[in-house]
Amino acid sequence: MNYSARPAWLNQWWQIGIMFLLPFVFILAVYKGHQYFSPENLRVVYVVIGAVFVYLMVVVIFRRYSWRYKIDDATIESREGIIARKVQSIRIKDLRNINVNQTLWHRLVNVGDVEFSSAGGSGIEVVFKGVDDPMQVKALAQRLQASG
């Protein structure tokens, strides 16, 4: 029983939503911008819209591909980073607590955060941020804990 995942695309729904709206804002600025802005300021508006779009695209893609989560028979592991790396892991046999955090929106689209803590630690040691079907992830970890 192995589990490998990345954050769900729907975990970043508002950034993706803004990215889809920005082309319409750009088109609106092209057709109606001359009524409200001077040509120099209109160019600034175009640059700002483009910069915000590129920034959001980079953030969404970076978050999606720089975070990776894994559960195998012995460990639960969270990896963050592409160049610099942050790895947090916990052994299944030391697992003490599994928490699931979901907002109302996250419950509607079935994504959420799964937090793991060990018997030796005082807090949350490993967090799977924005994974699909967090209750299934929790159930998998509980099955591995019971069988281990």
Q: What is the structure's pLDDT at 119?
A: 79
As given in the structure block, the two tokens for residue 142 are 């509980």
- Report d(CA 106, CA 47) in Å as an integer: 33
CB 99 within 8 A of CB 124: yes
Convert the pLDDT of each residue in 71-84 to its tens digit: 998 899 999 988 87
Identify the pLDDT of residue 1.
59
Mean pLDDT of 22-26: 93
pLDDT at 120: 75
- 68-147 sits in which CATH class? mainly beta
Mean pLDDT of the chain: 90
Nearest CA to 46 out of 56, 32, 59 is that of: 32
For the segment 41-55, what is each residue's pLDDT rounded down to a tens digit? 999 999 999 999 999
User: In angstroms, what is the C-alpha Rg of the chain?
Assistant: 21
Q: Is 141 helix (H, G, I), strand (E, B) or coil?
A: helix
Answer for the pair 70, 3: CB distance below 8 angstroms, yes or no: yes
Joined tokens for residue 127: 């967090």
pTM score, whole prediction: 0.82
What value does the mean pLDDT take over residues 54-61? 94
**Residue 100's pLDDT band (boundaries 50, 70, 90)?**
very high
* Separation CA 140–CA 111 (nearest Å): 16
